[in-house]
Structures are given as structure tokens and as C-alpha cells.
Amino acid sequence: MKNFYNLTKKELLQEKEKLQKQYNNYLKQNLNLDMSRGKPCKQQLDLSNDMLNINDYISNDNIDLRNYGILDGIKEAKQFFGNLLDINEDNIIIGGNSTLNMIYDVIARLYMFGYMDNTPWCNLEKVKFLCPVPGYDRHFDILEKFSFEMINIPIIENGINMDIVEDLCKNDESIKGIICVPLYSNPTGTCYSKETVERLAKMETKAKDFKIFWDNAYAIHYVYEKVELYNIFKACEKYNTQDRILYFFSTSKINFPGGGVSLLAGSDNTIKDTLKHLSKQTIGYDKINQLRTVKFLKNKENTLKFMDKHANILKPKFDIVLNTLEENFSNNPILKWEKPKGGYFVAVDTLEGLAKKVVVMCKELGVTLTDAGSTYPKKQDPKDSNIRIAPSFPSLEELQEAINIFCLCVKIATIDKFLL
């Protein structure tokens, strides 16, 4: 493996010629490989097929769940998720099939009606949100839809740069929230440390209605290592800041994406305030699916065992991506990445100004990646370097081919940059 930094111009040109031949060969193959979205593969989906055979509809307390009612979710679901996530069951609302939908609704309600007796955000001149980056494109899309100003907060090894967060929140009343994926973050795999969680709980905020959107989408989705996240409810209790928590979770990537169960958890005040508005939005969510999910997953211990099965399917895929990156770039530092402990992604950084080019080149060879820039608000990666790789969906063979092609494109794009 050659280190491009040590090559002469002539050697770089020779290397490029060799790589270009491989590129042209791939071009002829009309491939169609997709590493763009974090979707479970068929084998993962099949793990939950038995759930479809559960057709009970009477709850433990003898309620016929086929009918209307129970806005905040059935008792067994609250108990199950409360136990799984270590949250008081009275502080949970079980929702529909999507946390993203819940997050959108929460923001819309804060925008239109405000939190308790605070001014609705639509009546403010400016609303700003802190956005840890690289992050999840769909979060940023929601914030953009409401025309909130988004401020990039760098993700660091054990979370986010809290010095910046504390400084901004203390001084600016228009900063109304931060949106975090605290465990196996999308796309960096970052896990927030106890210190990060504590500081978020403790920090002073000029906005009285400041909210932490705690999208714990990958709470139990380990691949290589189980990481324990410090409980934000416990942290906030210490500082009496529970009202800032908006905690989200769903079974999208445990059972069926789009056919799962989501939840929102918050303080007593938040639950009361939310239900006041939610009661005008729906009579109740899909309780039959709530019951089916609980009957299938049973309890925390069984659910964690079930997640081992997902990890066993995902691990060889992550191995392929990480080993191939290692083989290609460990001695040629033109690409950087961190090994995630879990979640659904590997985030890589090319040299500055190359991400868009690499994604376009991959597309030309039939490999679809998430659009470059997507991991930043308004799709603007200031360094044009971050690319999100999603290994879960393709087969092992497809993935190996796709990641080989990706490495090839990174090398060609980098040589072109060096030759400029």
C-alpha cells in the first residue's frame, strides 16, 4: 500500500493510470449497489416474522384494544419500555410507528402553542437550534422546514463540544434546543459520556423553554460493544432540569421500520402539556401493534438477547467495511474514520473538498451513497469531506464490491487533488 504523501508527481501519475483502468473496468459492469440508507436487511427483518402471528387484542387489565382510546399507550407497553430504558413508566407516551413523526409533531406544537406558558416559537423573531455534526439529515430537514437557524456543534470523541454548547446556551435566549443522538450516533457512532450528559443536564440556558431532543434511536443497537448511556432523567433530576428533556425511542430497528412502536418520554410537566395537545390530534395510536410488540419482545433480558441476533448479522458487514478501509488506508492517510461500537453507520472523512466528487464517482460506477453534505444542516458540509457509509442493507458480496469501489474512487479523487 502506497502512501500518496510520499509519491513524486510521476509516481502519482503512474498510480492514477493503474487505478483509472480499474475504474474503467467497473464502469463496464453496470453495477447497482446501495450503501445509502440505514435499513435493516431481509435477514434482520425475518427475525421478527413471528410477531406477525401474534393476534391478541385483550390487554392484561382486560381492555379490548381493538377499540378507540388509551391515548398515552397501553400499560404493558409503558412498563416494558420503562424497564428497557430505565424511565418511569408514568413519564412515557407510547406513540405511533415513527419517532421522526413524533419529533416533527413536538416541534410543531412548540412552534404553534409553546411549552406551557412560554411564548410559542412562531411568535419569536428568531429560533436557533444546536446541531451536533456530522448528524442525521432528517433531523436537520425538520429544523430547516421551520426556518430555525442551525448552529453546527462539533462531535468529539465522547460526545459533543460542551464548552461551545454551554457558552452559547448561557448567552442566547433564542437558542431553544439541541438535537442529539446520544448512543451509537448517526453517522459517527459516537457515544455520549457521563460527563457530556451531566453537563447538558446542568448547563445554564438563557431560554426558559430550552429543550434537549434526546433521540436515542440506537439505545440497544450495539454491534461490537455494549455501551451504557448515563441516564439523562437521573442527571436532570439532580439539577431540577427535567423539563428540558424530550426523549425519543422506537422499535423501528428492532422489528420492522415503519411498522414499529415509538415513544416520547419527558418530565411530569412535559407529559401533561403534551397530552393536552395530543388529545386534539388523535384518539389513540395503534394499540394492537403495541401489544404485539410487547408480547414478542417480552422483557428487557429477552430483548437484549434478540439484539444479539441483529448484531450477529451486522458484525460481518461492519467487518467488511472497516477491514477494507484499514487495508486501503492504514498506511495512506488520505481517509479518516472511527470504528463505531454500534449503530448503523461508518462515517468517513476524505481530504477537504473531495466528498462530493467521491460520491459522484461512486454513483457513476453504480454505487449509491448518501449524498455528500447530508450529514450537515442544509446539506452544507463546510469542508466537503464527510461521507456516511451504511453497511446494513446490501449482501456481504455486494458490500465488499461497493466498498472496494468506494476506496478506488477516494484514491483517484485524492490523486487528482494532489496533481492540481
C-alpha cell recorded at residue 351: 481530504
Residue 180 or 354 having the CB closest to ligand PLP: 180
Q: How far is the CB of 99 from ligand PLP (least distance, A)?
A: 4
134: closest CA among 300, 350, 400? 350
Site for ligand PLP in 26-55 (CB under 6 A): 38
Residue 8 or 258 having the CB closest to ligand PLP: 258
Q: Which of 91, 99, 350, 392 binds ligand PLP (CB under 6 A)?
A: 99
Contact 166/203 with Cβ under 8 angstroms? yes
Residue 23 or 345 having the CB closest to ligand PLP: 345
Q: How far is the CB of 388 from ligand PLP (least distance, A)?
A: 10
Residue 255 or 350 having the CB closest to ligand PLP: 255
Q: Which of 190, 252, 293, 303 binds ligand PLP (CB under 6 A)?
A: 252
Residue 229 as a binder of ligand PLP (CB under 6 A): the answer is no
Q: How far is the CB of 185 from ligand PLP (least distance, A)?
A: 8
Residue 98 or 188 having the CB closest to ligand PLP: 98
Q: Which of 100, 107, 200, 220 binds ligand PLP (CB under 6 A)?
A: 100
Residue 7 or 45 having the CB closest to ligand PLP: 45
End-to-end CA distance of the chain: 22
Q: How far is the CB of 135 from ligand PLP (least distance, A)?
A: 8
Q: How far apart are CA 147 and CA 124, in angstroms?
A: 12
Q: Which of 137, 215, 349, 381 binds ligand PLP (CB under 6 A)?
A: 215
Q: How far is the CB of 219 from ligand PLP (least distance, A)?
A: 11
Q: Which listed range, 26-34, 92-100, 306-314, 331-339, lies at the site for ligand PLP (CB under 6 A)? A: 92-100
Query: Residues in the chain, how many?
Result: 420
Site for ligand PLP in 128-147 (CB under 6 A): 136
A 10 A CB-CB count for 180 gives 28
**Ramachandran angles phi, psi of 307, nearest 5°:** -65, -25
Contact 200/245 with Cβ under 8 angstroms? no
Residue 152 as a binder of ligand PLP (CB under 6 A): the answer is no
> How many residues lie near ligand PLP (CB under 6 A)?
13
Residue 107 or 410 having the CB closest to ligand PLP: 107
Site for ligand PLP in 349-368 (CB under 6 A): none
Q: Which of 262, 270, 289, 385 binds ligand PLP (CB under 6 A)?
A: 262
C-alpha cell recorded at residue 172: 442566547
Q: How far apart are CA 71 and CA 398, in angstroms?
A: 44
Return the residue matching grid coordinates 440506537: 218
Site for ligand PLP in 160-199 (CB under 6 A): 181, 186
Contact 37/370 with Cβ under 8 angstroms? yes
Contact 214/246 with Cβ under 8 angstroms? yes
Per DSSP, 360 falls in state H
Q: How far is the CB of 401 from ligand PLP (least distance, A)?
A: 24
Return the residue matching grid coordinates 430483548: 303
Residue 186 or 242 having the CB closest to ligand PLP: 186
Residues with Cβ within 8 Å of residue 391, at least 6 apart in sequence: 35, 314, 317, 318, 320, 321, 344, 345, 346, 399, 403
Q: How far is the CB of 105 from ligand PLP (least distance, A)?
A: 12
Residue 278 as a binder of ligand PLP (CB under 6 A): the answer is no
Segment 138-146 long-range contacts (CB within 8 Å, at least 24 positions apart) = 138/100, 139/103, 139/179, 139/213, 139/215, 140/376, 140/377, 140/378, 142/100, 142/103, 142/104, 142/107, 143/107, 143/179, 143/377, 144/377, 144/378, 146/107, 146/108, 146/111, 146/121
Q: Which listed range, 63-71, 93-101, 150-158, 325-333, lies at the site for ligand PLP (CB under 6 A)? A: 93-101
Tell me which residues touch ligand PLP (CB under 6 A): 38, 98-100, 136, 181, 186, 215, 217, 250, 252, 257, 262
